[in-house]
Each structure stands twice: as C-alpha cells, then as structure tokens.
Chain A
Amino acid sequence: MRITLNIWRQPNAASAGAMHAYELDEISEDMSFLEMLDVLNENLNEQGEDPVAFDSDCREGICGTCSLMINGEAHGPEVTTTCQLHMRSFKDGDTITIEPWRAEAFPVLKDLIVDRSAFDRIIQAGGYISVNTGSAPDAHAAPVEKKKADRAFDVATCISCGACVAACPNGSASLFLGAKITHLGELPQGQPERYSRVVDMVAQHDHEGFGGCTNIGECTAACPKEIPLDVISQLNKDLRTALKQGR
C-alpha cells in the first residue's frame, strides 16, 4: 500500500506545533498502525530527520499507553486501541491524519505524546479500597453475587487510555471516572468508602480541568474496552446520594 500521512509535529510543550506530510510506500496490510509508524521512523532516521515521537508499550491492547487521533477519531476507525488497529482498515492511496489526544487536561509533551498524569491523581483522590497488606480475611469470607462480580469485572477492564476524554467535545473524563466508581461500588469490599470516594474523585476530576458531562456519548463510542455509558449514570447516582447524606 501507498499512503500519505499528515502528522502533528511539536518539539516540546512550550513550542508551537504544525502538521507535516510524509509519504510511505510498501506498507503491508498485516502491519499494525504502530508498526507502520515504526517504518516511517526508520525512514526518517535514515534521512536525518527526527523520528516522530509517539507512546506505546504492550502493543496488545492492554496497557493503555498508545493514544492517537486518527482522522479525527480516538484510536482510529475501529473500536480498539491504536496498537490493535491494522493497516487493512485503510485503503491503498489513503491520506491519514494523525494528531495527539486533544484535551486541556492532557497537555502535549512532544509530537503525539501527551501527559495523562491527571488520571493518576484522580485515582489518588480515592480510586482504591483502603486495605493494608497482610490483614485481609480469607477470600471466601465475602461471596459476591455473580451478576455484580461480572459487572464489576466488565468495567474494571478500563485501560486508562484517555480515548473517552479525547473523543468528548467537553473533554470530560466521566467514563473513566464512572468505570472506577462502578467497579469498586459493585463489590462488598468497596462499600465503606463508596460515598466519600465519589465526592473526592469528582472534585479532583474537576480540579484537573476535565469538562462536565452533557451525555453526548462520544466517549463510549470511542472506548476500546466498550465501557458502557451507564457507568456515568451510576457515577451521578452515587454522587447525588453522597451529597444528600453528607458523604
């Protein structure tokens, strides 16, 4: 395949960025999108031009590191991560536009790499169960209803990639937040801190500069792990209860 790439280049957070065009030849449709970028970078290195910086690590759709806007869509046209997107999703002769995640709370560090540490700080605000090492009761002490266990699992699969934020016109992280609130809120172990957790995590979310949710639904459409939109209802419900009962 022959393709043209329009890529956002920005040397660092402080300087301005711009789009650059590159031509690539002999791209096989078995390549992943990131392998195609590897090929580009080998070429650039050979020509003495600084390779394009982009984030990736596991390359199997689980670590959440890779993060690209491809033709205006978070992770591109398929419901998956960028590393699991393959060139067979494109056609010979296509022009592909590649940009970093767009959100105020995710500042660009270089080229296609953004800073997502705001997510860690949201977790620090309460996205855990307070249990110290060594004092846990036997795992069978608290059975969990299969339905709840499955629901908790389904939403615990969030990989923290940030596609939901990048896809949201408001730059809201409500899907990410809702996934964590629901994961811990479905389990008996998560009950004692359920309401303080939601208040603190939402406060941190707002503090980081993520926008409010107006139920547009772009987040769930872009989510590679198909986190359902109703986690946001769960989030709002827990928040209302928390505010009513004073945490």
Chain B
Amino acid sequence: MASITDPSHTTALNSPPVQVSDDARGYYTLGEPLVDPVAPTGPIQNRWTQRQFDNRLVNPANRRKLEVIMVGTGLAGGAAAATLGEAGYNVKSFCYQDSPRRAHSIAAQGGINAAKNYKEDGDSTFRLFYDTVKGGDYRSRESNVYRLAEVSANIIDQCVAQGVPFAREYGGLLDNRSFGGVQVSRTFYARGQTGQQLLIGAYQAMERQVAAGTVKQYTRHEMLEVVIVEGKARGIIARDMVTGEVETHLADVVVLATGGYGNVFFLSTNAMGSNVTAAWRAHRKGAYMANPCYTQIHPTCIPVTGDHQSKLTLMSESLRNDGRIWVPKNAADCEKHPSEIPEEDRDYYLERIYPSFGNLVPRDIASRQAKNMCDEGRGVGPAVKELAEDGTERWVRRGVYLDFADAIARMGRATVETKYGNLFDMYARITGEDPYSTPMRIYPAVHYVMGGLWVDYHLQSNIPGLFVTGEANFSDHGANRLGASALMQGLADGYFVLPNTIRDYLADGPFEKLDESHPDVVAAKADVEHRIATFLSINGTRSADSYHKELGRIMWEYCGMERSEAGLKKAIGMIQELKKDFWSNLKVLGTADSLNQSLEKAGRTADFIELGELMCIDALNRRESCGGHFRAESQTEDGEALRHDDEFAYVAAWEWGGEDGQPVLHKEDLIYTAIEMKQRSYK
C-alpha cells in the first residue's frame, strides 16, 4: 500500500520533472507548460463531491433551449446522450454505424471494475484508485482516477437497474472475478460479452430518449470537421454516408465520444471502422493530442496467420486465470506438435520469471515476454512475413501456447466449458483447431489506446465548448490501462462525470444563435467538400487500404511493443514518404454523392498517417519505458522496463504545428499528493 505521509492528501509527494534527454530534438518545438485550469484541490476524497456542488446548475426550463452535439454512441457517448436527454437538453447523437448499438464498445469481453467490495476481500475506493494509478505507471492524474474509482460502484447499480444481465451466483447476487495484475476480485462481467451487455443498456436508455424526443439520432453519419467560431466549438460538419450529403449541425456544445485509434496499426482488435478522424480533425483545429504513443497491447489474441488478414481477435484475458503459458525450451521443437513436447522440454516462462504473479502478470509484461520468446526463435505456429528492424522482410513464428490441459485435469472439461466455452468455440472457428485437445496459440495485439485529446478535470479540451469522453480522451489511464478499466471510464464519463461538468459550461448559455452562413461555418464545410473532391480526383493506382496496411506495418515494427531511437527516426521518415505517395497516388473510385466505402477509408487513412507520425515523435521524445511502451534505451539490468519519474512524470500534450510546421509540445506536470511513486516490480 502507499505510504501516506499527509492524510489530507494536499502536499505534493514528488517534485516536478526536469527533462534532460532530448531524442526528439529537431522534430518538434517546445511550447508553454500546460496546467489544468480547473484541477480541484483539497483532500482527494472530497474533490469530486465538492466540484459537483460548485458547478453551476442550469434550470430545467433553460435546458430545453440548449443543444448538445454528441459524436459517438459507445459506452461514453450512449450513456451521456441518454443522461443529458433525461435531464432535458436537446441532444443530437451521431455514429457511423447503422445503429448506435453497434459501437465498438460492444466487443469488450472481459469485464468492468468497481469498488463494491462485495467479496469483503479488502477492496475500497482507495484501493481501486491506488491500483489504477499504479497500473497506469504513475502517468495519469490522481484527481481524475480517484473520481473514477469513486463513481465506479454507481455504474454497477445503474446497469443492473437497466436490466444488464451480469453474472450471478446461486444466491442471486452478483458474481465477480479478478483480472490480470490485481489481487482483489472486483471485476463484474457478463460471460465473455460484458461490453455488449453494457452497451445495450446504454443504447436502450438512449433509445428511450429518442422516443421521448430529447435525443435525435443520426446513424450512418460521419463527422468530418469541428466548427469553431470565436474560439468556441459550435458544431460539426458531417457526411450522410448514404446520400453523400455534407451537412452542417450547429449547437451550444460539442462532445466527442469517438473511441480509440488503435486501428492506426491496421491489424488490431478494434472494429474495422474505428478511426481517429473526429479527434484528428479537432487536433488540426487546435485541440491538443495527449500522450499519443501510449498504446495498450493485449497479450491474449489469436496470432496473425497471413497477409490477407483484416483484424486480430482478442480472447478474454480471463483465460490467463486458468490457462498456463509456455513455449518449447528448444527452438528445434517449435515445429513439433505440442503433444510431442514432453513436460521437461516446456518453458512456462511467466511462472519462471515472475513466480509471485505467474500467468497473471500485467498485460505489458505478458506481451513483451511473448515477443521476447518469439524473437529468440521459440515461437510456435505458422511463420509470418514481417518488417525487420533494418527495414528488410523476415519470417518469424509469432505465437506462444496457452494450455488448458492442467485446468481440464484439475476441474474437469465440463467446468472449463462453462467458464470459457464461448471463447473456445470462437478460437476453434477462427483457427480450425480444437483448443480442448491442442493448446491454443496466442500472441499480443494492439488493443486500445490511452492517448487521446487532452482534457481538463471537466473533460473539456483546450478548445472551449469541445468536450471529449471515453477512449477518445487521454485522462484516466496513464501509460498502462489495466483490464476492465476502459469500460469503467466510458460509463463513468458518460453517466456521471460529463453530465455534471458540462452543465457548468452550459450555465453560460444559450450562446448567441449561429447562422449557417457565418463565414467560419461556411469555411469548415468548404474544407470538407474540398477534401472529398481531392480524394476522388487524385486518380492514382493504390487503394486506401493498401496505404493503411503499409502504415500499420511500420507502426507495429517501430512504434509497437518495443521502441528505439533509431527505429522511431526511421519510422518517421517512412511515414513522411508514405504520406507524399498517398496524396499523389491514391485511387478512389465512385462518386461523392453516394454510399462510397472507398472514400470513407481514404479519409480515415489520411488522418491515420498524420497521427502515426505524431505517435512516433511522442515515443521518440519519451526516453523511458512505462506501461506497454518499452524503450530499448531504458531498461534495468535484467531487462525490465525502467521509468524515469524525474524526467517524464508529465503529460505530453501536442499542438498541431500547421501543415508544414512541427508539432508543439506542452508539458503538464503530474503531481501526486495521495500516492507515492514507486518503481514497479512484479517479480
């Protein structure tokens, strides 16, 4: 536990960082330091309560006159649209899918954390807070995380009241389980489909408001620009993806709940449509992008098998509770069937290296060790072609075994089936192998991102009137989101935080009525139309997908699990070349005024390319290993990740430097008053 020197948690326990190394010199310029202007003070356990009281109210009669644009209908956007609709605001909700219920949150499998302490195993708000800050490698804001832990219990109550069918015990009460890296049982789940059930709850609450007339739903609409007038976000430009019409939607406030950008890697566990466009367009209009290089890699995904692959499938991390991970001790055994490899020739490497956590080490460690095993030549499964450090191509086996033989012997096949049956079926369907008789093969894959648009304690970006929630913002997770905390953040933001903070902003409204003929609005729309016309007129030879794939390969090799100064510099050069080629050699068929999926992909790929470059610059600057971000230059003697709190305990918030300029780095120091920073050890 943290040693608590000041029980009121108001005195800083660390000193501000002073950066000495500067690997990224020449790639960026340094801007003014950044402070969160609305950061709360006082004892940490009172901060949120006090703030809810201090935030101004909007009286019910005025709420009807206020318009909120909500982009995104995942857990963050759906929950917020429902809640703001109930409160009586006029909400316009947008998503690119054909129904809000298909937002990517639906795919989350494992579970959602909450400090309910139903198991009486010593859990508490403070412990969830502590575990989350520590799990984020002390790169998140403690006030935000404390608030997250505080409202987590309400989320479960809310969802149960909506009819979310969480797993239950025979006594009729909720069941929960423990997740990677945590020693208490605080994860609530609905079989392997927690995200689906939570999202359906939020979706149904939102549809209820659609029926009540407070929420207007725009599906198959893609937001392509933010409208900023006199420094404030006042609307969006969106394309009706069926008719192609470019529409202007104006409002008093704009909220982006547009999810994460893990698809910058092309192969990821994200949905095919997940993209960065909304956030990136806002970034280009002045919103800061914070910690873009923080990516979480999930250790239990089905490995890549070949070139044609469009996505990687995640299998719930809960599998690590009972499965044992191993590779052959001898590289020569890798081609053998696993049943031919005797016990003494197997290396249960996680149990060997981390005896106290074993197979339940945090995600980044499990992931990196799997990579190490394969890099050593002890990977299993088919060899795949990939990009090597020096830019050439090589063949490597990318897989380690996740073995349930012991679990089946111990609990019986029937128990394993009830616990994990759906995951086993999924694995069998995708690979054509039977995981009950042959160990599964797994490998890490990009899962979600902790970077995102910079927001203050109110979830407002540095552009007034532009709020950002859920995975699209950067705020609560630092460098290493633990399992089951992203869902928690999405719903905390959507149901409880944003509705309480946005009212303080809206209390100044209604803002002056804005006309579609305002020059800034007209210009934003014209920009979008021009961009679309450009994509269609380049008339080169390569599809958007082919560029996206190439970008992904660069990102995974140089800005993936392990990064180095030389590799990142190489990647930046490669991405700049790719960008030039994209804008001169892209081929998009079809027209602007119809359903055109190639056109949609072109816009998203263009934004991913620019984001990819910024991610590499951010990674280059951060010469420390933290979370899933392992910098080769920063490791302990025995090869573990080494943080540098003295230099890097800050949020890196990047400002768009213009089309030909360099990004500007603003640093927000992370000061801890409730938790003392510690080097981590999972040995």
Interface residues of A (CB under 8 A from B): 11-12, 28-32, 34-35, 38-39, 42, 45-46, 48-51, 53, 55-65, 78, 80, 84, 86, 88, 109-110, 113, 115-117, 119-120, 123-125, 127-134, 136-140, 142-146, 149, 152-153, 156-157, 159-160, 183-184, 187, 189-190
Kindly state whether residue B111 has any CB partner on chain A within 8 Å: no
**Assembly CA distance A36 to B254 (angstroms):** 39
Question: Does A31 lie within 8 Å of B430, measured CB to CB?
Answer: no
Residue of A nearest to B595 (CB): A110
A sample of 28 inter-chain contacts (CB < 8 A) reads A11-B594, A32-B310, A34-B310, A35-B310, A39-B308, A42-B545, A42-B546, A46-B543, A57-B104, A59-B311, A59-B313, A60-B314, A60-B426, A63-B106, A63-B107, A84-B430, A109-B242, A119-B99, A123-B207, A124-B211, A128-B204, A133-B495, A133-B499, A136-B154, A146-B168, A152-B163, A157-B193, A184-B163
Q: Which residues of A contact B511 (CB under 8 A)?
A: none
Q: Does the CB pair B101–A160 fall under 8 Å? A: yes
- Return the contact of A124 from the options B97, B104, B167, B207 (Cβ within 8 A): B207
| Known contacts A115-B98, A153-B190, A38 near B162 by CB under 8 Å | no
CA distance A110 to B432 in the complex (A): 33
Check: B196 CB closer than 8 A to any chain A CB. yes
Q: Among B203, B272, B426, B499, which residue has its beta carbon within 8 angstroms of that of A56?
A: B272
Contact B163 A139 (CB under 8 A): no
Min CB distance A113 to B, Å, is: 7
Contact A50 B98 (CB under 8 A): no
Interface residues of B in 203-250 (CB under 8 A from A): 203-205, 207-208, 210-211, 217, 219, 242
Establish whether residues A131 and B587, one from each chain, have CB atoms under 8 Å apart when the complex forms.
no
What string of 1s and 0s marks CB contacts (under 8 Å) between B246-279 and chain A?
A: 0000000000000000000000010111000000
Please state if B217 and A120 are interface contacts (CB–CB under 8 Å). Answer: yes
How far is it, in angstroms, between the C-alpha of A46 and the C-alpha of B208 when the chains are bound?
Answer: 46
Q: Which residue of B lies closest to A26 (CB)?
A: B308
Say if the beta carbon of B20 comes within 8 Å of chain A: no
Interface centre among A12, A128, A137, A159 (most CB of B within 10 A): A128
A146 and B154 CA atoms in complex are apart in Å by: 23
The residues of A that contact B156 with a CB separation of less than 8 Å are 139
Cα separation A34 to B273 with both chains bound (whole Å): 14
Determine which residue in B106, B163, B174 has the highest number of CB atoms from chain A within 10 A of its CB, and name it. B163
Residue numbers in B under 8 Å from A115 (CB-CB): 98
Kindly list chain B residues whose C-beta atoms are within 8 Å of the C-beta of A56.
272
Instruction: Name the residue on B nearest A113 (C-beta).
Output: B595
A-side contacts of B104, CB under 8 Å: 57-58, 63
Interface centre among A45, A58, A149, A190 (most CB of B within 10 A): A58
Contacts of B168 in A (CB 8 A): 143-144, 146, 149
Q: Which residues from chain B sit less than 8 Å from chain A, CB to CB?
A: 79, 82-83, 86, 97-102, 104, 106-107, 116, 118, 154, 156-163, 165-174, 190-191, 193, 195-197, 200, 203-205, 207-208, 210-211, 217, 219, 242, 269, 271-273, 305-306, 308-311, 313-314, 426, 429-430, 432, 495-496, 499, 541, 543, 545-546, 587, 589-590, 594-595, 597-598
Asked if residues A129 and B211 are in contact (CB atoms below 8 Å), the reply is no
Q: Is the CB of A38 within 8 A of B217?
A: no
For residue B308, which residues in chain A have a CB less than 8 angstroms away from its CB? Answer: 28, 30-31, 35, 38-39
A189 near B161 (CB under 8 angstroms)? Answer: yes
Closest to B205 in A: A128
Contact B207 A128 (CB under 8 A): yes
A30, B219: Cα distance in complex, Å: 33
Is there contact, CB below 8 Å, between A157 and B210? no
- B272 contacts which of A57, A120, A145 (Cβ < 8 Å)? A57
CB–CB B589/A139 < 8 A: no
Contact of B162 with A48 in the complex, beta carbons under 8 Å: no
A78 smallest CB distance to B (angstroms): 8
Chain A residues near B269 (CB-CB < 8 A): 60
A123 CA to B99 CA in the complex, in Å? 11
Query: Are B272 and A59 in contact, CB atoms less than 8 angstroms apart?
Result: yes
Chain A neighbourhood of B195, CB < 8 A: 62
Closest to A189 in B: B163
**Chain A residues with CB under 8 A of B432:** 29-30, 86, 88
Q: Can you name the residue of chain A whose Cβ is closest to the Cβ of B160? A: A139
Inter-chain contact A143/B172, CB cutoff 8 Å: yes
Determine whether the beta carbon of B429 is less than 8 Å from that of A80. yes
Task: Pick the residue among A84, A127, A132, A143 that contacts B207 (CB under 8 A).
Answer: A127
- Tell me which residues across on chain B come within 8 A of A159, comparing CB atoms: 196
CB pair B429–A62 under 8 Å, yes or no, is no
B118 to chain A: which residues have CB within 8 Å?
A: 140
Q: A65-B97, A120-B100, A144-B172 are in contact. Are A190 and B204 (CB under 8 A)?
A: no
> Which chain A residues lie closer than 8 Å to B311 at the CB level?
59-60
Given A45-B587, A59-B271, residue A139 in contact with residue B116 (CB < 8 A): yes
CB distance from A183 to the nearest CB of B (A): 7
The reply to whether B99 and A149 contact each other, CB–CB distance below 8 Å, is no
A247 to chain B, nearest CB (A): 17
Across-interface contacts of A137 in B (CB, < 8 A): 157, 161
- For residue A127, which residues in chain B have a CB less than 8 angstroms away from its CB? 204, 207
| A53/B595 contact (C-beta < 8 A), A42-B545, A48-B589, A146-B168 known | yes
Q: Please, which residues of chain A bring their CB within 8 A of the CB of B102?
A: 57-58, 63-65, 160
Provide the residues of chain A in CB contact with B217, threshold 8 Å: 120
Q: In the complex, A127 Cα to B208 Cα: how many Å?
A: 8
Q: How far is the CB of A128 from chain B (nearest CB, A)?
A: 4
* B105 to A, closest residue via Cβ: A63
Determine the distance from Cα of A189 to Cα of B200 in the docked complex, in whole angstroms.
15
Q: Which residues of B contact A58 (CB under 8 A)?
A: 102, 104, 106-107, 271-272
What distance in Å separates the Cβ of A143 from its nearest Cβ neighbour in chain B?
3
Contact of A183 among B163, B210, B499 (CB under 8 A): B163
Partner of B496, one of A49, A116, A133, A160: A133
Q: Provide the bound-state CA to CA distance between A183 and B195, in Å.
A: 17
Known: A62-B106, A86-B430, A139-B116. A117 touches B190 (CB 8 A): no
CB nearest neighbor in A for B211 = A124
Which of A30, A60, A127, A144 is most buried by chain B, counting CB atoms within 10 A of its CB?
A60
State the CA gap A203–B278 with chains docked (Å): 38
A190 CA to B104 CA, complexed, in Å = 26
Give Cα distance in the complex from A110 to B205, angstroms: 31
- What chain A residues lie within 8 Å of B310 (beta carbons)? 32, 34-35, 38, 59
Q: Which residue of B lies closest to A111 (CB)?
A: B595
User: Known contacts A109-B242, A139-B174: does B162 contact A60 (CB below 8 Å)?
Assistant: no
The winner among A88, A113, A190 for most chain B CB atoms within 10 A is A113
Q: How far is the CA of A53 from the CA of B600 in the complex (A)?
A: 12
CA gap between A127 and B200 in the complex, in Å: 10
Per the bound structure, the CA–CA distance linking A12 and B241 in Å amounts to 12
Q: How far is the CA of A190 from the CA of B99 in the complex (A)?
A: 23
CB distance from B49 to the nearest CB of A (A): 14
In the complex, what residues of A have CB within 8 A of residue B314's CB?
A: 60
Complex alpha-carbon distance, A58 and B196, angstroms: 12
Residue of A nearest to B171 (CB): A143
Asked if B82 and A133 sit within 8 Å, CB to CB, the answer is yes
Asked whether A42 lies within 8 Å of B429 as measured between CB atoms, the reply is no
Closest to A38 in B: B310
Partner among A11, A123, A187 whose Cβ is within 8 Å of the Cβ of B163: A187
Tell me which residues across on chain A come within 8 A of B200, comparing CB atoms: 156
For B598, what are the chain A residues with a Cβ–Cβ distance below 8 Å?
45, 51
Q: How far is the CA of A109 from the CA of B664 in the complex (A)?
A: 44
How far apart sit A116 and B102, CA to CA, in the bound complex (Å)? 12
Do A123 and B193 form a contact, CB below 8 Å, given A59-B310, A137-B161?
A: no
Q: A138-B157, A144-B172, A153-B190 are in contact. Are A12 and B595 (CB under 8 A)?
A: yes
| Complexed CA–CA distance, A61 and B102 (Å) | 11
> B41 CB to closest chain A CB, in angstroms?
26
Q: Are B589 and A50 in contact (CB under 8 A)?
A: yes
Alpha-carbon distance between A189 and B587 when the two chains are bound, in angstroms: 53
Interface contact A129-B594, CB-CB below 8 Å: no
Query: What A residues does B543 contact at CB under 8 A?
Result: 42, 45-46
